[in-house]
Structure formats: C-alpha cells, structure tokens
Amino acid sequence: MQEAYNELNEKLAELSDIGAAGALMGWDQQVNMPPGGAEARGRQMGTLGKIAHEKLIDSRVGELLEILKPFEEEKGYDSTEASIIRIARRGYDKAVDVPPSFTAKWQKVTSDSFEVWIKARPANDFKMVQSHLETNFDLCKEYADYFPGYEHPLDPMIDNHDFGMKASNIRSIFSELRKELVPVVEAITSQEPADDSFMHGHFDSAKQIEFGESIAKLYGYDFNRGRQDMAAHPFTISFAIGDVRITTRVLEDFLSSALFSTLHEAGHAMYEQGSDPAFDGTVLRGGTTIGVHESQSRLWENIVGRSKPFWGHHYPQLQEKFPDQFANVPLDRFYKGINKVERSLIRVESDEVTYNLHVMMRFAFECDVLDGKLAVEELPEAWKDRMESDIGARPPDDKDGVMQDIHWYNGIIGYFQGYTLGNIMSSQFYDAAVRAHPEIIDELGQGKYDTLHTWLKDNLYSHGSKYTAHEILKKATGQELNIGPYMNYLKTKYGELYEL
C-alpha cells in the first residue's frame, strides 16, 4: 500500500509542477508579456493544460485510487494521506469525464479572449470582444454537458470554484441576504453622502505602493516568498508555498484603488503562504474554495483594513506620506470617507454595504445566459438596466458596465458568488478569532496583527485544501454558513457611522 501511495504522490507532484508552469505563464501574460506574445501564449497554455489533463486521467491514476481505498480508510479522514487520496479522487472523477482536447481548447480560447478584452475595454468597444464572450459561454455549456443530471448548467462550474455548492444554494443565500441588505442601503443612501473628496487628487505611485506594501508586511505577507507587480485587474497567484505573488492597480488620482487592492490580495497570499509546508507539491497546497479564499481577502481588506482601530494607528503614517492631501483631514472624517456608502458603478471600488448587490447581479446574468434567457449581445443594455434598478447607478458606457470585470473574458464563469460567500464567512472567522483572543481588537489599534494571523494560520491556513468549506468553517468557528455575524458586523459598523 505504501508503494502505491508513493507512486500516486509522484504523479500528483508532477501534475503540480505542470500546473505551476501554466500558472507562471498566466502571471507573465498579465504582468510582463509583450503584446506580440499573445497568440503563442494561448497555444502554449492550451498545450500545458492538455498535458496536465491527460496525466490526471491516466488509467494508472484510477487504478492507484482504487487500490488505495483500504489504505485511505485505515489512515482516517483527517490524516494527510487520506486527504491527499480523497482530494485526488475528487479531481480525477471530475476530469475523467472531460476530453483533454476540450481543456486545450478552453485554455487557448480564454487566453485569446483576455487579450482582446485588454484592448476592447479602454476602447469602450464591446463589439470587439462580443464573439469571444459568446464562445466562452458556449464552452461553459459544453463543459456542463459532460456532467448530465445537473440542476443548472452553471452547477459544474460553481462546483469547480465552490465545491459542494449549486446555483439553487446560491440563490437561496442571496435571497436571504438581499432582504437584509436593501433596507440598510436605502437608509444610508437617503442621507447626505459622506465626503471622500480627499481620496481624489494626486498621489505619487511609488509612495502608494510603498505604503500599501508596508501594511501587507505588518499583516504577515512574507515578501521573501512573494512580490507585488502591476496588472490590469489585481490578482494573487501561487506557484508554491515559497512563491506566492500579488498584483495591484495604481491610479494616481484615487488612493483607494491600489491601497485596498494590496490589502485584499495580501489576504489571499497569506492564506496560500500559510499552508502546511508538507503540502507543497501535493493536492492539499493552497486554499479550499474561492469562497473561503475570499473570506481572507475581505477580512484583511475590510474588517481589519477599513476599521477605526486600524486607522487610529496608521493614519498618522499616511498623513506623513501625503501631507498635502491629509494634513487638514481629521481621523473621523477620513474614517467615514473610506467607508462611504453610495450607489456606484464599479464593483471593485464599491463599499461593503452595496458590494454584494454587484455580485448578485453578475451571478444572475451568468444563470440567465446559460439558461438561454439572455443573449450575450443583450448583456450591455441588460447590465445598464439591472444596475439602475438594483443599485441605482446607470453606467454611461460599456467600459464601466459589462466590460469592467476580467472574469468572463478570461473564461472564469461560476466564480462571482465566491465574493459574497467570502464576505459572509469573513465575519464568522473573525468573530471566532476574537472570541478566542479578545485582545485582537486592542492590538489592531496598535498595529499588531500577529495574534489574528496566528489564529488564522492554526485554524484555517495550515489545513490547505484538506477540508471542504463547510468542514473548515465548522471546525474553526463551530458554526454552519449563516449571514448573522456578517449582517451584525455591517449593521453595527454602519449603524454607528450613519446613525441608523
């Protein structure tokens, strides 16, 4: 049995290395690659994806998984050995139903689509990228057909990102959350909007990057095992526990963009860096689902990074960095400004209260397109109408409408729900950490994050992808997924800010 287990691990390590090579190509495409490399890069990524897929569904992998069933049971569910076998089987069982040629096509098509989006968005030209987006959704439908019996054609894609979830689950959670959120949005936006004019002006790019990285280091992001670069849309990518990279986007006329993107991506990266070192090169390295991953980025970006204790400590440092902009802005005004609630156009720059309405809209569009209720060519106007009805802000163009997010154009469909699941879980994880260590709240006001970071490493990060989202949430917090702690957080924080 041990020999079979060792053989399986060797095959999985090879797959991990191929995956890392493909990921490195993806990082390079968004950070360094010259435009002339786009066509070849899509082909190269398709080739690597096909090779990895063929190796995963090799008949010997299936044989080893079958041979190791008694070994898996003997070791016990929580053991590293059983977990590697269990997670490998999950991947094998799903991949074996999909032809490697489809994976190659998917990688090539979505890489090409991304390159067109990069040009189409600043040109505000949806027609330029429309056919590529239609192909991406068609491929999503084709992928779903490899899994007959699904409730909704989006389900197989959701399962890839948030294992165990279906469109019906997401709709139920979103319906419950919307009922709680909309009255809060109405109550706040009926008031005079908070002043955040001081966040707009001229902010030197180098100083922005320096300040954001200084906070990320304090949080616990290890720059010896990571780096930050610029990208059109901020993201985190992991090649190994010793190489987890983040990106940000700097706007010289708006401070929030780079700062909070850096804090957000640092949360993702700390999760990846916190995996048990023994998991490197195995299927257990890294986060368990997109929702759990987003819980960490949103926790460090918002619950910590937009809190009053945090800024009570760090605001004088920001004032020193940008004296002309903040010398005459008191802390209370700054704190309310960075937590301004408004009916805005851009998801990544929206506030905590309205953010989930943006996510719900995107999820609904994915369902409608795959259901055949909405054609891709109808998306631009449908987007404007839905933004106006759901959020109260109508995009003047497609650049800040249907083309604002990279996801669909990069073939990432069935992903958006993870942001809201992450928001919900972020409060559950944070509350559990504070229950275990009440001193965390005072430490935020002292610029100390070790206690919180250590609790998260011990109770979440170190487990990598060993457990499902449901399992890790239960283990770490003692709770099932529920919106209670999250809504309590929003109502308490914004109730005080806006005297609700």
Q: Say which CATH number the domain at 342 has.
A: 1.10.1370.30
Q: Are residues 118 and 207 in the same domain?
A: no
Cα 74 vs. chain centroid, distance in angstroms? Answer: 36
What average pLDDT score do residues 268-295 get? 97
Domain carrying residue 341? 167-498
Q: State the DSSP string of 345-393.
A: S-GGG--TTTHHHHHHHHHHHHHHHHHTSS-GGGHHHHHHHHHHHHTS-
Are residues 258 and 435 in contact, defined by beta-carbon separation less than 8 angstroms?
no
Binned at pLDDT 50, 70 and 90, residue 500 comes out as confident
Is residue 423 a part of any domain in this protein?
Answer: yes
What is the SS3 assignment for 413-446?
CCCCHHHHHHHHHHHHHHHHHHHHCCCHHHHHCC
Is residue 85 a part of any domain in this protein?
Answer: yes
Q: Are residues 109 and 223 in the same domain?
A: no
pLDDT tens digits for 354-408?
999 999 999 999 999 999 999 999 999 999 999 999 999 999 999 999 999 999 9
What is the SS3 assignment for 127-153?
HHHHHHHHHHHHHHHHHHCCCCCCCCC
Q: Are residues 384 and 299 in the same domain?
A: yes
Residue given tokens 């987890």 in the structure block: 244
pLDDT tens digits for 405-435?
999 999 999 999 999 999 999 999 999 999 9
Q: Are residues 366 and 281 in the same domain?
A: yes
Last residue within a domain, chosen from 93, 126, 159: 126
Q: Are residues 339 and 454 in the same domain?
A: yes
Structure tokens, 487: 């809504």
Count of the separate structural domains present in the chain? 2
pTM as predicted: 0.96
pLDDT tens digits for 87-137?
999 999 999 999 999 999 999 999 999 999 999 999 999 999 999 999 999
Q: Are residues 395 and 268 in the same domain?
A: yes
Residue-level pLDDT at 233: 86
Are residues 193 and 292 in contact, defined by beta-carbon separation less than 8 angstroms?
no
Is residue 18 a part of any domain in this protein?
Answer: yes
Structure tokens, 347: 């998801």
> One-letter amino acid identity for 170?
I
- Number of Cα atoms under 13 Å in the Cβ half of residue 33: 20
Residue-level pLDDT at 398: 98
Q: Are residues 69 and 175 in the same domain?
A: no
Last residue within a domain, chosen from 75, 98, 126: 126
Percent of the chain residues past pLDDT 70, beyond the cut: 100
pLDDT tens digits for 435-460?
999 999 999 999 999 999 999 999 99
Is residue 147 a part of any domain in this protein?
Answer: no
Q: What is the mean pLDDT of the chain?
A: 97
d(CA 54, CA 71) in angstroms, rounded, equals 25
Is residue 78 a part of any domain in this protein?
Answer: yes
Is residue 400 a part of any domain in this protein?
Answer: yes
Known catalytic residues? 265
**Regarding beta strands 236-240 and 228-230, do their DSSP bridges make them parallel or antiparallel, or are they unpaired?**
unpaired
Q: Are residues 459 and 327 in the same domain?
A: yes
Q: Are residues 105 and 187 in the same domain?
A: no
CB under 8 Å to 46, separation ≥6 — which residues? 103, 104, 105, 106, 107, 108, 111
pLDDT tens digits for 162-187?
999 999 999 999 999 999 999 999 99
d(CA 470, CA 405) in angstroms, rounded, equals 28
Check whether 39 has a pLDDT greater than 90: no
Q: Are residues 185 and 99 in the same domain?
A: no
Q: How many CB atoms lie within 10 A of CB 193?
A: 12
> Higher pLDDT residue, 214 or 349?
214
Q: Are residues 274 and 334 in the same domain?
A: yes
Residue-level pLDDT at 499: 86
d(CA 249, CA 260) in angstroms, rounded, equals 10
Q: Are residues 122 and 189 in the same domain?
A: no
Q: Is 125 helix (H, G, I), strand (E, B) or coil?
A: coil
Residue-level pLDDT at 56: 97
